[in-house]
Amino acid sequence: MRVGHISVHACIRAHKMAWTMGPTGHDQYMISERIAATHSITPYKGVSIFEAKGDELSRCLQLRQAILNLEPYVDIWHVHNEPNWIFRQVHEVATKPIIWDIHDWTSLRKVEVPHPKELEEEQYAIENADGFSVCSKGYLKKIRELSKKPSQVVYSMVPERFFIRERPGHLPGICFEGGVKGKNDQRYNFPYRNWASFSHEAVKNFTEEQKFYFYTANDGEDFSDYEQKKVLFRAPEIYPEMLALMSQHDAGLVGTPFPVKDFEDSMPNKLFEYLAAGLPCIIINSPEALRFGLENQVGIGIQDASQVAEAMESLKDHRVSEDRWAFTMESQMPKLFSLYSEVLCNRSPRVIAQMT
């Protein structure tokens, strides 16, 4: 199976799939605007970077040319959403089947209201995709209400070879991995990614040794609001090294600092990073993640920041089982290959009218 991934920001979810499929003989390719230095352990047989700067037409033309160049070498396209406009670019020039991967459902956003054009592009993708890969059971229920095309839940789990078996030390406290926001003037400020007040409230009940650690790839942010001796930021690390560093802590935090409608059915990547690091999860304002944590005995829920210290105390002797196969990306591959096979069997390559 030759898979062409397209992800504008080269999402870690795409890398996890490719890291797992590539070594088993399934050629993986990536088209993206960039690949983060922290994800530089590339699993791809080929990578095509199209220019992130410039006008919208130039970006679209570059992306379309990259798709046409790669089309002879792939059997199926796996297009990762966020943003949604990339789907139309693939659909209008590619002849091979297209999987639409939904890990951040635009129309469900209530805090950062999406532009009408984004909603239009999302609807176009749902109507024209040949199949769907989603990150949670909640998303699967929603997509099956909207489309009869094949669909599967593929959790954003971590490949087994990155799992931490022995932690290099112990740094008491909790960690948060992923997008963290400080003060800035960007249009999309994502207030639910600002944990300054939450972290300050949480550490009030910490012991002298316990700290609140943030692992974020966000460069250039103003994190002055977070400044506190018990709140620490780690510099961006290469992915496996980050997992090893996180394994030193007592738990990982999942969710949002205040209730957000967007997160009711989503499944944050970070939950699976913590499991790969051997950490139990403390979950807030993320119902889908909490259900997973409770069902698999890998997490507990809290209502507010003041309960973080108590939750860490209850988890102090809890390390995620060494038998973690169920939490590996390898465990998700039968579902993903089943989806690919069903789509390939159901649809012949489309004929695209080309301009002469």
Q: CATH number, domain at 123? A: 3.40.50.2000
DSSP H/E element including 233: strand 231-234
Residue 53 has a pLDDT of 64
- The pTM (predicted TM-score) of the whole model is 0.92
Q: pLDDT-derived band of residue 184, with 50, 70 and 90 as boundaries?
A: low
Say if residues 335 and 153 touch (Cβ distance below 8 Å): yes
Number of domains in the chain: 2
Residue 26 has a pLDDT of 95
271 and 167 within one domain: yes
147 and 169 within one domain: no
pLDDT in tens, 76-120: 999 998 788 999 999 999 999 999 999 988 777 766 666 788 889
336 and 199 within one domain: no
Residue with tokens 């970070």: 270
Domain extent, residue 288, equals 160-326
295 and 339 within one domain: no
13 found inside a domain: yes
356 found inside a domain: no
303 and 192 within one domain: yes
Does 262 or 118 have the greater pLDDT score? Answer: 118
74 found inside a domain: yes
261 found inside a domain: yes
60 found inside a domain: yes
Residue 319 has a pLDDT of 73
Q: Is it the case that residue 262 has pLDDT exceeding 80?
A: no
Q: Which ranges of the chain does DSSP label H, i.e. alpha helix?
A: 12-21, 56-70, 85-91, 116-128, 137-146, 196-202, 239-246, 270-276, 287-295, 308-314, 333-346
Q: Work out the percent of the chain whose per-residue pLDDT is above 70.
A: 92
189 found inside a domain: yes
320 and 185 within one domain: yes
**What mean pLDDT do residues 176-203 have?**
83
**What mean pLDDT do residues 144-151 have?**
96
Residue with tokens 């909603």: 119
